[in-house]
Chains A and B, each alone.
Chain A
């Protein structure tokens, strides 16, 4: 609503000053480009009126926590989708990394647990990458297979039980705040900046985008296609492990299905954020806004007392709408790699 009202009212006024007019145009463009931010702000303001609790410090930090989990994994997913790939195995990787943390924590330091989680994340990402780049299985189906593989391993290693995290230091480290901002959110911002830099200012990032816009051309141009795919999955695995670090701290436990359905939220955040599913480009800022948007939607539904089951429906519908809108805008002819 807000998107349309502001520029319209500016246009209706017969403005004699040319400068004023072009400024209105600029505003219009700015709003059109950032309509997601506008929706986010509008949603926050509405919720602030409906439920004043929404704007309390505790609730806001709650939202930032949720956004950080999705956003961290979203960084890796943005790279993958920009490269024309996709990954459905996050919830498996997150479960294994979190279980590993819970298991090694009693005998090692926090640093040791972090390193274990990151190594595992990279390793599982490597498996996905090998399946996609070298066995040449389509990414979404290869990672669907590895999802169940990882989940099975997670269940076996825990004996289908919940592993508690007793270390208070670990919990304090992962759920702490610096000023008003939770640590996971700060780590997410840092990770997003690094991801943005990688995607837009490094050889690897350029190769990923080239791969995403036209794999055959990228291969003919001599880019190391296989190695780039492999690296992209390893990077994604690392970001999932980071997400697992904070998620396990927040839950102060780990189990096989702690992240069930997580892949949906992550893909939805990335795609709604504006990274086109056909690959070729990615926006980490968009992913961050998308993650915040979904965190706000879910939080609002909780505050309004709507059954949590509706979150499944809303996430799915928003995802389809975002992609349908995107394909309608790009004329459809440029969409490739369907199915």
Chain B
């Protein structure tokens, strides 16, 4: 009698476990579908619309142009991906990039192209380090730190240039953005390289796992002995280096640097990261998604330019895209939670 009871209890338990496993699997696949939907559907729609409406959308020069712009944005996006994955945010990328661009331009004129590149990377790292140190050591929330440094770095760029544009003389340096290797633009190869390295670190190395651990459960990460503050600091430094590297390419592309360059970049970077499926809740970083979303954004801008739409509409398109991406992100979280709790329809 009693053994029979135990048996049925056990089988009940087994059934329950199986059901919950099933729910988890379905929730996971739903999450994946929603994530991919968020970036692939707009990507295909914009691609088709661009080919159909915009003249010269697929001309070689426009493709190169789109790839270069997407690469510059994607490099910044990779840095933002890791910051968002550890539940932070970096609003200062635009200003940091403007400041590095100005420093790069001045040092290319002073010490030559290699000096300029080195200065760009170092400046980016230092600016990221400042963000990281203020956030971790002074315990200021990340978005306030970077909101403040957004203003500080922009001010520093304006002070450095005294409001006047800097013209880069070196032809060799300007070649970075225009050179192609086997028909593929150099910036695109650079972005590919950074993306691959970033993906490898994230998926295959310990520090990458730490990033995911800190983002998905900070208390748990502390309890398992991870130095979370160091991981967060590293994320901000990485974001700064990415902004600096992209700044080098941008400086080479523009040739004439204003302190007001890269205004609003933070929004574009956040938009591509969230569109790409990296969750604002932290703990999930999707490198490929970020790269595809960067391409999507660059296609939208290029299409609107080819159609002679005034640039203000790009603001609106960006705002709508961001809100859409965030809506999908929060909707997906709610849907997955409902499914995990086994309440598919109610509430």
What CA separation (Å) do A312 and B156 show in the bound complex? 8
For the residues of A in contact with B, the DSSP-based class is helix
For the residues of B in contact with A, the DSSP-based class is helix
Contacting pair B316 A153 (CB below 8 A): yes
Q: Which residues of A contact B155 (CB under 8 A)?
A: 309-313, 316
- Known contacts A264-B151, A316-B152, A323-B141; decide if A141 and B280 are in contact (CB<8 Å): yes
What CA separation (Å) do A315 and B150 show in the bound complex? 11
Contacting pair B141 A309 (CB below 8 A): no
Does A328 lie at the interface of the complex (its beta carbon under 8 Å from any beta carbon of B)? yes
Q: Which residues of B contact A271 (CB under 8 A)?
A: 144
Q: Which residues in window 128-176 of B have CB below 8 A to A?
A: 134, 138-145, 147-152, 154-156, 158-159, 162-163
Nearest CB in chain A: distance from B163 CB, A: 7
- Known contacts A135-B330, A144-B270; decide if A149 and B143 are in contact (CB<8 Å): no
Other-chain residue from A156, A309, A319, A339 in contact with B316 (beta carbon distance below 8 A): A156
Q: Which residues of A contact B163 (CB under 8 A)?
A: 309
Contacting pair B152 A312 (CB below 8 A): yes
Q: Which residues of B contact A313 (CB under 8 A)?
A: 151-152, 155-156, 159
Does B264 lie at the interface of the complex (its beta carbon under 8 Å from any beta carbon of A)? yes
Among A140, A150, A267, A313, max chain B CB count under 10 A is at A313
Contacting pair B326 A309 (CB below 8 A): no
Contacting pair B140 A327 (CB below 8 A): yes
- Quick check: which of A39-47, A59-67, A226-234, A330-338 contacts chain B, the rest being far away? A330-338
- Known contacts A319-B148, A323-B141, A339-B87; decide if A145 and B323 are in contact (CB<8 Å): yes
Number of A-B contacts (CB under 8 A): 155
Q: Which residues of B contact A312 (CB under 8 A)?
A: 151-152, 154-155, 158
Does B318 lie at the interface of the complex (its beta carbon under 8 Å from any beta carbon of A)? yes
Other-chain residue from B139, B311, B312 in contact with A327 (beta carbon distance below 8 A): B139
Q: Which residues in window 99-149 of B have CB below 8 A to A?
A: 134, 138-145, 147-149
Q: Which residues of B contact A323 (CB under 8 A)?
A: 138, 140-141, 144
Does A55 lie at the interface of the complex (its beta carbon under 8 Å from any beta carbon of B)? no
Q: Which residues of A contact B331 (CB under 8 A)?
A: 135
Contacting pair A149 B141 (CB below 8 A): no
Please, which residue of chain A has its CB at the minimum distance from the CB of B154?
A: A312
Does B320 lie at the interface of the complex (its beta carbon under 8 Å from any beta carbon of A)? yes
The number of residues on chain B lying at the interface, defined by a beta carbon within 8 Å of a beta carbon of chain A, is 53
Contacting pair B159 A160 (CB below 8 A): no
Does A106 lie at the interface of the complex (its beta carbon under 8 Å from any beta carbon of B)? no
Does A324 lie at the interface of the complex (its beta carbon under 8 Å from any beta carbon of B)? yes
- Known contacts A138-B280, A261-B151; decide if A324 and B267 are in contact (CB<8 Å): no
- Known contacts A145-B326, A148-B318, A313-B159; decide if A160 and B139 are in contact (CB<8 Å): no
Interface residues as binary, A297-328 with B (CB distance below 8 Å gives 1, 0 otherwise): 00000000001011111011101100110011
Q: Can you list 8 A-B pairs with a CB-CB distance of less than 8 A?
A: A135-B323, A144-B266, A151-B315, A267-B147, A313-B155, A324-B140, A332-B139, A339-B88
Chain A interface residues toward B at CB < 8 A: 88, 131, 135-138, 140-142, 144-153, 155-156, 159-160, 256, 261, 264, 267, 271, 277, 307, 309-313, 315-317, 319-320, 323-324, 327-328, 332, 335, 337-339
10 tightest A-B CB contacts, nearest first: A312-B155, A152-B315, A149-B319, A155-B312, A152-B316, A316-B152, A324-B138, A316-B151, A316-B148, A309-B158
